[in-house]
């Protein structure tokens, strides 16, 4: 049997401890499946004395993750610290420079510095594997880079943040407003230390940036994405969308068109009966569409100790078997520059607004939409008070620019009581 594959694990939080547990519990299974023993040589974390509920005394300890990355008895540097810069970036760069393979769960690091890291790794002849960085236990990176390698990918979409999906489904199921459910999530510990990473779409956007690069052969460019969070979604939006057969999801969508590669992370309406519409609670779902395979749907836990550590071990096992491939599917030097698409593919839209309750108000809004080239598919007016009338409009497919023109023109009609809310409706 070949010599053992030796791991250095940087970060002993939820995921790092999960990796240690699997290596200790499944040592015989991992060896049988890879033909090579997988062992831990050394670990690193902020505190050495903290009780983490796993056996660590047999491993060497490094206070500095950079020192861990350079150790002679480490073949694979496992980076599960998190953060786009600082120690995670420094240690990953040190590992690559020292000729170590890297397995990472760090979507922020790769979304912001993936191109440079990929170039450095490929020049050094080492691998960067990052299945755990996107959608937890769902093997979507492997699906794109290996299983669907014979396909031209036309669209990638999915729910990539379980906290946001929990908030939106909890609002719908319990009839609670956003702030109430947000407070629940804080109490349950579901939110990041900076909650905007979750509810602002940033965490999910990092994941989408990696999928875009793999799917379309472009350099990772988080700044090319359009990002919008769920903070403005109201219980009225949730309920009214449901009345019309839709569910609201924080949805990442990337697709190739004549305008370039469009990539956005934003709240969207999806058909309630679709797989995405049926996704409940803190789960993730990735939908991939290729010219030969058609559409495939991957569903599973997007976070947590077991699912994420499982993804880390999948990458480690591939390295134990000697599997090597470019970081983003094709050599880093061949990746095309990534820029924001010139415009968005036309789509239907959901519009919600409050109108002054006076004659001709609705006619003025309809006229503005028509003048901009946006036609109305369905329209509903809900119960109103003495001053305002809530109105819901679903448009036919329209260019985003036309809709934006119409919304801007609505302000001059004198009948708006509140700014319109516009959500894209995605075909599934």
Question: What CATH number is associated with residue 410?
Answer: 3.30.70.260
Among residues 71, 105, 133, the one where a domain terminates is 133
Give residue-wise pLDDT tens across range 366-408. Answer: 999 999 999 999 988 876 666 788 889 999 999 999 999 999 9
Same domain, 223 and 161: yes
Question: What CATH number is associated with residue 182?
Answer: 3.30.360.10
Q: What is the pLDDT of residue 380?
A: 86
| Rounded Cα–Cα distance for residues 136 and 302 (Å) | 4
Same domain, 147 and 292: yes
* Residue 316 lies inside a defined structural domain of this protein: no
> Looking at the whole model, is its pTM more than 0.85?
yes
Same domain, 89 and 213: no
Give residue-wise pLDDT tens across range 146-164. Answer: 999 999 999 999 999 999 9
Q: What is the CA radius of gyration of the chain?
A: 24
Same domain, 157 and 107: no
| Rounded Cα–Cα distance for residues 260 and 156 (Å) | 14
Same domain, 115 and 210: no
Domain count, the chain: 3
Q: How confident is residue 318, by pLDDT bands cut at 50, 70 and 90?
A: very high
Same domain, 384 and 250: no
12 close to 40: Cβ distance less than 8 angstroms: no
Same domain, 167 and 25: no
- Partnered with residue 8 across adjacent β-strands are 42, 77
Comparing 134 with 188, the larger pLDDT belongs to: 134
What is the pLDDT averaged over residues 270-276?
Answer: 96
Same domain, 128 and 160: no
**Least confident segment among 18-22, 53-57, 165-169, 259-263:** 259-263
Same domain, 164 and 213: yes
**Least confident segment among 43-52, 130-139, 256-265:** 256-265
**Least confident segment among 39-53, 352-366, 379-393:** 379-393
Structural domain boundaries, residue 212 = 140-300
Give residue-wise pLDDT tens across range 189-224. Answer: 888 888 999 999 999 999 999 999 999 999 999 999
Calculate the alpha carbon distances from 342 to 40, 256, 335, 400, 407 in Å.
Answer: 48, 12, 20, 11, 20
Q: Fill in the DSSP letter of residue 222.
A: G
Same domain, 362 and 274: no
* Residue 168 lies inside a defined structural domain of this protein: yes
Residues assigned a catalytic role: 207
* Residue 385 lies inside a defined structural domain of this protein: yes
Whether residue 291 is predicted with pLDDT greater than 90 in this model: the reply is: yes
Q: How confident is residue 3, by pLDDT bands cut at 50, 70 and 90?
A: very high
Same domain, 146 and 214: yes
312 close to 141: Cβ distance less than 8 angstroms: no
Give CB contacts under 8 A, 24+ apart, made by 226-229: 226/263, 226/264, 226/265, 226/266, 226/340, 227/200, 227/201, 227/202, 227/264, 227/265, 227/266, 228/201, 228/264, 228/265, 228/266, 228/267, 229/164, 229/196, 229/199, 229/200, 229/201, 229/202, 229/267
| Rounded Cα–Cα distance for residues 159 and 135 (Å) | 9
Among residues 133, 148, 166, the one where a domain terminates is 133
Identify the H or E element spanning 96: helix 87-97
* Residue 404 lies inside a defined structural domain of this protein: yes
| Rounded Cα–Cα distance for residues 265 and 206 (Å) | 10
Same domain, 177 and 207: yes
Q: What is the pLDDT of residue 386?
A: 67
Give residue-wise pLDDT tens across range 7-38. Answer: 999 999 999 999 999 999 999 999 999 999 99
Whether residue 257 is predicted with pLDDT greater than 70 in this model: the reply is: yes
| Rounded Cα–Cα distance for residues 55 and 61 (Å) | 13
Q: How confident is residue 340, by pLDDT bands cut at 50, 70 and 90?
A: confident
Q: How confident is residue 2, by pLDDT bands cut at 50, 70 and 90?
A: confident
Give the torsion sign (CA, 223, 307, 279, 194).
negative
Distance of CA 135 to the CA centre of its chain: 7
* Residue 12 lies inside a defined structural domain of this protein: yes
Whether residue 142 is predicted with pLDDT greater than 70 in this model: the reply is: yes
Among residues 72, 103, 133, the one where a domain terminates is 133
* Residue 10 lies inside a defined structural domain of this protein: yes
Give CB contacts under 8 A, 24+ apart, made by 355-359: 355/388, 355/389, 355/390, 355/391, 355/415, 355/416, 355/417, 356/387, 356/388, 356/389, 356/414, 356/415, 356/416, 356/417, 357/384, 357/385, 357/386, 357/387, 357/388, 357/389, 358/415
Q: What is the pLDDT of residue 260?
A: 80
* Residue 267 lies inside a defined structural domain of this protein: yes
Identify the H or E element spanning 38: strand 38-44
C-alpha angle 72/77/78, rounded to 5°?
150
* Residue 340 lies inside a defined structural domain of this protein: no
Question: What CATH number is associated with residue 119?
Answer: 3.40.50.720
């Amino acid at each position: 049997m070949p010599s053992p594959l030796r791991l250095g694990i940087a970060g002993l939080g939820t995921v790092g401890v999960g990796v240690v547990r699997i290596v200790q519990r499944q040592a015989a299974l991992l060896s049988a499946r890879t033909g090579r023993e997988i062992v831990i040589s050394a670990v690193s974390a902020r505190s050495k004395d903290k009780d983490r509920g796993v056996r660590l005394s047999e491993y060497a300890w490094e206070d500095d993750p950079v020192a861990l990355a350079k150790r002679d008895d480490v073949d694979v540097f496992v980076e599960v610290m998190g953060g786009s810069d600082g120690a995670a970036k420094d240690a990953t760069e040190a590992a690559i420079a020292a000729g170590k393979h890297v397995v990472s769960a760090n979507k922020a690091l790769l979304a912001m510095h993936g191109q440079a890291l990929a170039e450095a790794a490929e020049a050094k002849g080492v691998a960067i594997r990052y299945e755990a960085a996107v959608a937890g236990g769902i093997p979507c990176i492997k699906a794109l880079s290996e299983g669907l390698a014979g396909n031209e990918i036309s669209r990638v979409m999915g729910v990539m943040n379980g906290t946001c999906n929990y908030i939106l489904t909890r609002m719908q199921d319990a009839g609670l407003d956003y702030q109430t459910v947000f407070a629940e999530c804080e109490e349950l510990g579901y939110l990041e230390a900076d909650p905007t990473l979750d509810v602002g779409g940033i965490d999910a956007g990092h994941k989408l940036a990696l999928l875009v690069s793999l799917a379309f052969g472009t350099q990772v460019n988080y700044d090319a994405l359009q990002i919008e969070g769920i903070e403005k979604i109201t219980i009225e939006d949730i309920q009214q969308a449901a009345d019309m057969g839709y569910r609201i999801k924080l949805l990442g969508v990337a697709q190739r068109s004549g305008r370039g590669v469009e990539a956005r992370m934003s709240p969207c309406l999806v058909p309630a009966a679709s797989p995405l519409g049926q996704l409940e609670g803190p789960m993730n779902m990735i939908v991939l569409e290729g010219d030969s395979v058609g559409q495939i749907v991957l569903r599973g836990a997007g976070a947590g100790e077991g699912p994420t550590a499982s993804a880390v071990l999948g990458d480690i096992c591939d390295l134990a078997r000697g599997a090597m491939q470019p970081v983003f599917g094709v050599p880093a030097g061949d990746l095309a520059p990534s820029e924001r698409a010139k415009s968005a593919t036309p789509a239907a839209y959901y519009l919600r607004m409050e109108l002054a309750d006076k004659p001709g108000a609705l006619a003025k809004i309809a006229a503005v939409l028509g003048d901009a080239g946006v036609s109305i598919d369905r329209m509903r007016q809900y119960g109103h008070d003495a001053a305002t009338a809530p109105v819901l409009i679903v448009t036919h497919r329209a260019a985003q620019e036309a809709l934006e023109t119409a919304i801007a023109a609505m302000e001059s009609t004198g009948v708006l009581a509140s700014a319109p809310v516009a959500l894209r409706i995605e075909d599934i």
